Structure 1
Amino acid sequence: MTEPSTPLMRQYTAIKREHPTALLFFRLGDFYELFFDDAVLASKELQITLTSRNKEKGIAVPMCGVPYHAAEGYISKLIRKGFKVAICDQMESPKLAKKLVRREVTRVVTPGTAADSSLSSEENNFLAALARVEDRVGFAALDLSTGEFRATEFSGEDAARRIQEELAQLRPREVLYGSSAPLFDQQRRGNSRPQPNDGLAGCAETPLDDW
C-alpha cells in the first residue's frame, strides 16, 4: 500500500490498519468503496469493475465499489467464499461535517459469525476455537444460527492429529486460535494456507491475542 496522499485516504488507511485481515467496505456517499489490494481481490471475487483514483497525481489507487443499498448481497457472496468483511459507515451527514466526514467500523462479518438468512444452507455454520496447553489440545464449536455447541479435548503425542480429524468432520467456517502458537504449524511445514488434511481447508482463520 502506497503512502496516502489525501486526508480521505489517510482516514481509510488508519481504519484499515485496525482490520488488516478483513475486506474493508468504506462508505463514500451512496457507495461502499474498496481500495488497494482489497479492491483488486473484491473486484475479482465479485466480478465487478476495477478502476482507480488519484491518477492525476501520478499514484493510481486501485478501487471498486458497490451501491450501499445492495451491499448485503455482495457481502454475503464474500462470506460464502470464506472472506471477512468490515463495514465502515459515515457517522455524520456530509452536509453537517466541518471537514472530513467521521467514519467508523460498525460491523465485522466473518464466516463463523454470519447469521443472516441469506447465508443459510443445509450444512452447519460452525465457529470453532482451538487451544493448546502443553500436550493437551481442545476445541469448542458453536453454530450461531442453530445454537448447536460441541467441545472436546485430547492429550498425548497424537492430540493434534485427533483434533485434525475432528475438525475435518466438523468443517467449521471459521477457526479462532492463539496467535503466538498456531496449532498446526509443524504439520504445515511452512505452508501458510490450510492444507486438505489439517481440518482447516476452506475455512477462515482468525488469530487472536492469547487468552
Structure 2
Amino acid sequence: MKAEASAPIRLLLVDDHPVVRAGLAALVGGRDGLEVVAEAGDAEEAVSKARAYAPDVVLMDLNLGDGPGGVETTARLRALEPPPAVLVLTTYDTESDILRALEAGAGGYLLKDAPPDELFAGIRAVSRGETVLAPSVAATLVRRTASPGPVVTEREVEVLELLADGLGNKELARELLVSEATVKSHLSHIYAKLGVDTRAGAVAAAIEQRIIRR
C-alpha cells in the first residue's frame, strides 16, 4: 500500500518589493513540499492574509516601506491563534535587527544571499519549531554573548540610530520625548560602553560593531 504524501508547508511571503516576492514565489513555489498560499507587501496586508490563509510559515522581510516594519509585523503574527512560524529573510544582519526580530518571536533569521537549499531547509526547520540562523547571524549572537563589555540597550541603539541621522541633543530629546538631561545621560552611557568620547566616534563604533546599520 502506497504511503500517503504529507501535506505541503503553506507559506505567506511578506516583502514590500513585488519583484522580490515574484522571485521568491517562483523559487519556493516550485519546490516539492512547499506551497505559496499568499503574498503581502505591508504589515496590515500580512496580518490580514495570515488570518485568511492560516500559513504554516511566513517569510518576513524587515523593511516594509513607510509603515510598521518586519519586527512589529512578526510580533503581531505571533499573537494570532494559531501563530504561524516566522522566518526572517532580509539583507540586514546588525545586532539590533537580529535581537529585535528574535525577541518578537521569529523562529529563524536568514539573509537574502542564502543558497536556495539553505532557504528550503530553513523553512522546513522553522515549521517543525526549530531555530534557524544564518552563519553570520549566529556569529553575531556568539560575539554578543562572549563579549565581556556592557551591552548596549535597545533604547541606546535608538539613540545611536538618531545620532547617525545627524540629530543634535535638542532634536534627540524631541524625538525620544525625554529631557536634554536624559539625552546627555544616554550619550554618557553609550560613550562608556563603546570606549569613545565623541558623537562621531560612537556612530563609527556602532557601525563597525554592527550594532546599527548604515
TM-score by length of 2: 0.27
TM-score by length of 1: 0.28
The structure where strand makes up a greater share of residues is 1
The structure where helix makes up a greater share of residues is 2
